[in-house]
């Protein structure tokens, strides 16, 4: 860049060595020299061009990190730096510098409620003591019953599952009977049932029944599927198998 400006003529060979946005701004005549220093024309002023990475760090420290600048906001810092200096991707570099400032991360006041602690799910000592439940729907109707969904029951003791065919349109009572006839009648009453907040799992019929049976219903929170992670993982495994053995034209 300095050679091009000092020679004051177009050199395709030298220009080919320039990267964007240097080349673009050079062709737009935004660079010029004053006393051997490289300047960049802005909309209403001209600012010093910073080329060396070490010098960029000094500018950032001077306009953001020193005590009398006070670690101000990103917009405020950008405004002050842009009025004095220019370098490629200035806003991106400045944003990364501010967002990774260790002093600010320690000192910034946290707003809102304090985050809750993660709740550990206790390990099971007996089969069917704790189970995870979730739905798989959107399947093509198959068989005489035209099943189009599965109720996935994963039990944590042996990390295995049962898939109960059902209908997406089933009511809360249908779900209760399905679970009772296939799980409780053969495996006993679980102590803990972990599921998402599907309306069928939060209905009055469902919650009242398991309140009487002494079963704790543990619901996962929104945007935190890890709580019901075992069922989610089992569903992935089942999906993996079904995609390979079920296809068009298969009954």
- CATH 2.30.30.90 is right for the domain spanning 130-245: no
pLDDT tens across 85-126, in order?
777 778 888 888 888 888 877 776 666 676 666 666 667 777
Q: Is 35 left (phi over 0), alpha (psi -120 to 50) or beta?
A: left
pLDDT tens across 31-78, in order?
666 666 667 666 656 666 765 677 788 888 888 877 767 777 888 888
* Nearest C-alpha neighbor of 152 from the set 213, 233, 240: 233
pLDDT value for 177: 92
pTM of the model: 0.47
Q: Where are the alpha helices (DSSP H) in the chain?
A: 2-7, 12-15, 22-27, 53-60, 74-82, 90-99, 102-107, 172-179, 185-187, 199-202, 204-213, 229-245
Q: How far apart are the first and last CA of the chain?
A: 71
Q: Which residues contact 88 (CB under 8 A, 6 or more apart)?
A: 19, 20, 21, 22
Helix (H, G, I), strand (E, B) or coil at 249: coil
* Nearest C-alpha neighbor of 95 from the set 64, 70, 49: 64
C-beta of residue 166 within 8 angstroms of C-beta of residue 135: no
Q: Which residues contact 44 (CB under 8 A, 6 or more apart)?
A: none
pLDDT band at 139 (very low <50, low <70, confident <90, very high): confident
* DSSP character at residue 47: E
Residue count (the chain): 251
Indicate where the chain has its CATH 3.30.420.10 domain(s): 130-245
C-beta of residue 1 within 8 angstroms of C-beta of residue 31: yes
How far, in Å, CA of 222 to CA of 171, rounded?
Answer: 23
* Nearest C-alpha neighbor of 155 from the set 128, 185, 180: 128
% of the chain beyond a pLDDT of 70: 66
pLDDT value for 178: 92
Indicate where the chain has its CATH 1.10.340.70 domain(s): 2-107
pLDDT of 83 strictly over 50: yes
Classified by CATH at the fold level, domain 2-107 comes out as: Endonuclease III; domain 1 (1.10.340)
How far, in Å, CA of 53 to CA of 38, rounded?
Answer: 15
pLDDT tens across 182-238, in order?
988 888 888 888 888 888 888 888 888 889 889 888 887 655 556 556 777 777 877
Which strands, in side-by-side order, build the sheet including 160-166?
A: 160-166, 149-155, 130-136, 192-195, 216-219
């Amino acid at each position: 860049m300095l050679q091009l400006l000092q020679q004051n003529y177009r050199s395709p060979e030298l220009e080919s060595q320039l990267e964007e946005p240097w080349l673009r701004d050079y062709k737009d005549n935004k660079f010029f020299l004053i006393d051997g220093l490289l300047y960049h024309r802005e909309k209403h002023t001209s600012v010093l061009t910073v080329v060396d990475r070490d010098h960029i760090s000094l500018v950032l420290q001077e306009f953001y990190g020193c005590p009398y600048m006070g670690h101000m906001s990103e917009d405020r810092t950008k405004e002050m730096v842009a009025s004095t200096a220019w370098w490629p991707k200035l806003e991106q570099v400045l944003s990364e510098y501010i967002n990774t400032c260790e002093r600010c991360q320690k000192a910034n006041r946290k707003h809102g409620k304090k985050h809750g602690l993660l709740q550990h799910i206790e390990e099971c000592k007996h089969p069917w003591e704790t189970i995870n439940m979730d739905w798989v729907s959107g399947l093509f109707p198959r068989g005489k019953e035209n099943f189009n969904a599965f109720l996935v029951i994963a039990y944590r003791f042996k990390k295995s599952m049962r898939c109960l065919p059902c209908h997406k349109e089933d009511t809360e009572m249908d779900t209760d009977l399905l679970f009772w006839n296939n799980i409780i009648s053969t495996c006993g009453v679980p102590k803990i049932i972990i599921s998402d907040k599907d309306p069928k799992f939060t209905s009055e019929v469902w919650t009242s029944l398991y309140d009487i049976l002494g079963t704790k219903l543990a619901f996962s929170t929104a945007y935190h599927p890890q709580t019901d992670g075992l069922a989610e993982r089992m569903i992935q495994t089942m999906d993996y198998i079904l995609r390979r053995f079920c296809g068009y034209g298969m009954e």
